[in-house]
Amino acid sequence: MSEMRALAEAARDEMVADLTRYIEVETPSDDKQALAAGLAWVRSYIAGALGVPAAERIVDGGERGGIAIVDYDGTSGSTGSVVILCHYDTVWSLGTLADWPVAVDGDRLTGPGAFDMKAGLVQAVWAIRFARERALPLPRIRFVLNGDEEIGSPASRPVIEAAAAGFDAALVFEASAEGRIKTERKGVGIFDIVVHGVEGHAGLDPDKGVSAIDEMARLILQVHGAADLAAGTTLNVGTVAGGTRQNVKAARADARVDVRVASQAEMDRVDALFAGLAAHDSQARVEVSGEWNRPVMQRSEATARLFALAQQAAAQIGIEVDEISVGGASDGNFVAAMGIPVLDGLGAVGDGAHARHEWVSIDGIVERSALVAHLMEKLA
């Protein structure tokens, strides 16, 4: 066992205790008061573990959770800089802990938000502690902590982009994909389609009126037909609503569409698709609204070099890590679009994001913390 791995193994129980305390501070994305308490806990935790930061700034998130930017200086002679992205909000409502408390069963720790993504912050903090204990060089480090990632980061996106500008690399402590580091993520779009038809009696006047539902059905086939799995493009009409009675031709129908793309070219093609949607009947009218929630996070040469450093760091503690491209998005997408190399999925090893069986591997917490300590050394 490497010295770093042994150091992390010795802190195993402390890391579990830290994660347990963090999970027990509930932070649902839609509860401003709970998020404020959660951010206060996180700031106190980081300062208690790493000391008073060189600088700290809080940005009000409006209706959303606040965003904290916490800076620590690099060691003497270090020239590198790293921004660490960790969201502290979860999808779990206040009170979830009452019937789902934190529990440990062998290597598995369960609890709301453990996998996505509270274990990630604990691992990042301990990685820095381990590097310091071994007197390893460290880069300048900036934590960016936001409380609205699970709802698309509407308040924190501009803060994240401004805070990451000029940094050499970004490390995102979102959960891993079966232990693999995410070096590529799809861009995500959320679009709404509204069809306005003309009401009419479906039985007495079948030749009058225009059904918005009929028009929407045609559009759904067109939208789904634009998917290109080989190119990594998916379009899914996830919800549909319309009509008032079975014997009334619907005056309105609404649909909500989720889009995932792996390239800017596909993003442009989908934009053209939505711009060109039109009603089959001239009396009906189609409206499309929405936007690209997150840009594509493409695997650049700089990201490939960053992943190679992670592989070297893993080898130092006697393990291997693989990379993966995933369909989900994160705040790493924003930073990657700025040209900054990003490693995502450095957080928990486990499974069950957004599900009641969410769990993390305690062995994974130990290994990832030791790995990131060496990775920080290389980025110094």
Q: What is the CATH number of the domain that holds 323?
A: 3.40.630.10
Say yes or no: 123 and 42 in one domain: yes
Active site residue 268: no
Say yes or no: 175 and 195 in one domain: no
Of 294, 321, 354, the residue at which a domain comes to its end is 294
Any idea which of 88-92, 118-122, 206-210 has the lowest mean pLDDT? 206-210
Which pLDDT band, with edges at 50, 70 and 90, does 375 fall under?
very high
- In order of 8, 23, 244, 301, 337, the CA distances from 343 in angstroms are 21, 24, 49, 12, 13
Burial class (CB in 10 A: 0-12, 13-18, 19+), 206: exposed
Say yes or no: 118 and 45 in one domain: yes
pLDDT tens profile 273-321? 999 999 999 999 999 999 999 999 999 999 999 999 999 999 999 999 9
Say yes or no: 58 and 142 in one domain: yes
Q: What is the CATH number of the domain that holds 210?
A: 3.30.70.360
For the four alpha carbons of 123, 129, 132 and 138, in that order, the dihedral sign comes to positive
Say yes or no: 149 and 264 in one domain: no
Q: Note whether 253 and 199 are within 8 A (CB).
A: no
pLDDT tens profile 142-190? 999 999 999 999 999 999 999 999 999 999 999 999 999 999 999 999 9
Say yes or no: 249 and 302 in one domain: no
CB count in 10 Å sphere of residue 293: 18
Of 245, 275, 294, the residue at which a domain comes to its end is 294
User: How many domains is the chain partitioned into structurally?
Assistant: 2
pLDDT value at position 278? 98
Of 270, 294, 318, the residue at which a domain comes to its end is 294
Residue of 26, 116, 148, 149 marked active site: 149
Kindly state the average pLDDT of the residues 101-128.
98
Say yes or no: 171 and 228 in one domain: no
And the tokens for 139?
Answer: 């880069």
Residue of 89, 116, 174, 215 marked active site: 89
Q: Going by C-beta distance under 8 Å and a sequence separation of 6 or more, which residues neighbour residue 52?
A: none
Q: Note whether 154 and 64 are within 8 A (CB).
A: yes
Active site residue 31: no
Say yes or no: 278 and 305 in one domain: no
Position 1 pLDDT exceeds 90: no
